[in-house]
Amino acid sequence: MSKFQAPKGVSEYFPPNSNNFEYVRDTLIAQAKVSGYRLIELPVFEDTEVFSRGVGESTDVVSKEMYTFEDRGGRSITLRPEGTAGVMRAVIEHNLDRGQLPIKLFYSGAFFRAERPQAGRYRQFYQVGIEAIGYNDPEIDAEVIAIADNSFKSLGLKKYKLNITSLGDSESRGAHRKDLVNFISKLKLDEATVTRAKMNPLRLFDDKRDEVKSQMKSAPVLLDYLNKRSIQHFERVKELLQQLDIEFSINPRMVRGLDYYTGTTFEFEHDLLGSQSGIGGGGRYDGLMGSLGGADVSGIGFGLGVDRVLMACQAEDVLPANFNQIDLFIVPITELAKQFGFKLLAQLRKAGKKCDMAFGDRGLKGGMKAADKSGTRYTLVLGDDEISSNKCQLKLMSDGTVISSTLSVPEILQKLESN
Ligand code: HAM
């Protein structure tokens, strides 16, 4: 065993699987980009209060799972457990909401939650997320959900479901909260749960313990308390999703793990991932910017779990074999060929071809092994004869077909492109 190991419960990607990770992450990002979202790159740590105020004290994320420490200046710092609160901090700090609305942003990177590690649940994990800030518009809700759905579809995923619900506007939530608090006050609960319910009574819908679950079965659900405006908004979102051929189920008991949600909320679950089946989720957040000291501007967004989406792609066997494939691998078998090959490599790379060569004096056998391992499309074995005759053979690795060429760069490029 090596002297050092990665910290417990973190996800790591290295070749060859890092190729799949990169493919999944970039495909998820691509859908945000074609929809007009632009990159926001933020620190992975923030003032702890950004999360305790933004995400909410009643959540597991804030109360149990944050990596919080004091920095050398005595400030309380937290590694970001999610992306939305940090984006809002940046929007407020840099007055981004004073320009053209909506502000459409995407991000991608590592997030940190001190959870109990298991397959698909990590302490450092990766998300691709988007946020659309500025309007409370059903069209934007549908757009955000559609981007997530499109990105799963463009990966070739089929075995997943979309659950949606609405948490309504503040009037609807107020009416529901009154009845829910009254209902909860009659239940038999331990003190910690009562305290949690006081902070956010909706949390009890999310409690995994049987004794709480059974008592919550007949609890009033928010969807039955939506006022006219909230109903109209949610109906329009559903209509738009139907127009876009996006299948969904309404789940009125769905509770997201973060407190800032209002209005439309949603979760995508994959059928083959067992208990950690959530591959992405999000929703609208009316009060978040206000709670962080900004203007009262609404937004909506999602976070997609890259680690889990990758697992889903593996489970459905939809990962491409040739992402990032090298076009040509040169195997030089003499000193002269090594020098010639090195120059050829530079010229082909300059022309935009992905290529590599065998380094070290490994001879034909070692060089071919390296070519094989690289996953290259073509291999070119280069010796003194090839150089003196100006003739070479490009071997297609998938079936051994051989194409003849001279060693001129334009001809090699032409052969690689036309075959
Ligand atoms: P979230 O539902 O907490 O939402 O996380 C989004 C996704 O990140 C989950 O669906 C899951 O795929 C992945 N994920 C979460 N925790 C872990 C973990 N410990 N290990 C592996 N994957 C994990 C948010 O984070 C919100 N900020 C999303 C959002 C953006 N809402 C509005 N805007």
Torsion of CA 26, 27, 29, 34, to 10 degrees: 130
Closest-CA residue to 286 (of 273, 277, 295, 297): 297
- 């659950």: which residue's tokens? 163
The whole-chain average pLDDT of the chain stands at 96
What pLDDT sits at residue 361?
83
| pLDDT tens readout for residues 204-259 | 998 889 999 999 999 999 999 999 999 999 999 999 999 999 999 999 999 898 99
Please state the atom number of ligand 1 nearest to the C-alpha of residue 284.
Answer: 32
Closest-CA residue to 285 (of 113, 126, 167): 167
Report the pocket of ligand 1 as residue ranges, CB < 6 Å: 82-84, 113, 115, 121-122, 125, 127, 129, 131, 257-258, 278-283, 301-303, 305, 307-308
Residue nearest to atom 33 of ligand 1 (CA): 301
Query: Assign residue 39 a region: left if phi > 0, alpha if psi is -120 to 50, beta otherwise?
Result: beta
Least confident window among 65-74, 188-197, 333-342: 188-197
Mean pLDDT across the stretch 378-406? Answer: 97
Residue nearest to atom 11 of ligand 1 (CA): 305
pLDDT band at 186 (very low <50, low <70, confident <90, very high): very high
What pLDDT sits at residue 268?
98
pLDDT band at 134 (very low <50, low <70, confident <90, very high): very high
Q: Residue 362: pLDDT above 90?
A: no
pLDDT > 90 fraction of the chain, expressed in percent and rounded: 93
Residue 125 CA, ligand 1 centroid: distance in Å? 9
| pTM for the full predicted model | 0.95
Residue 281 CA, ligand 1 centroid: distance in Å? 6
Partners of residue 69 on adjacent β-strands = 77
Torsion of CA 59, 272, 223, 301, to 10 degrees: 60
| pLDDT tens readout for residues 6-59 | 999 999 999 999 999 999 999 999 999 999 999 999 999 999 999 999 998 888
Closest-CA residue to 157 (of 269, 289, 15): 269
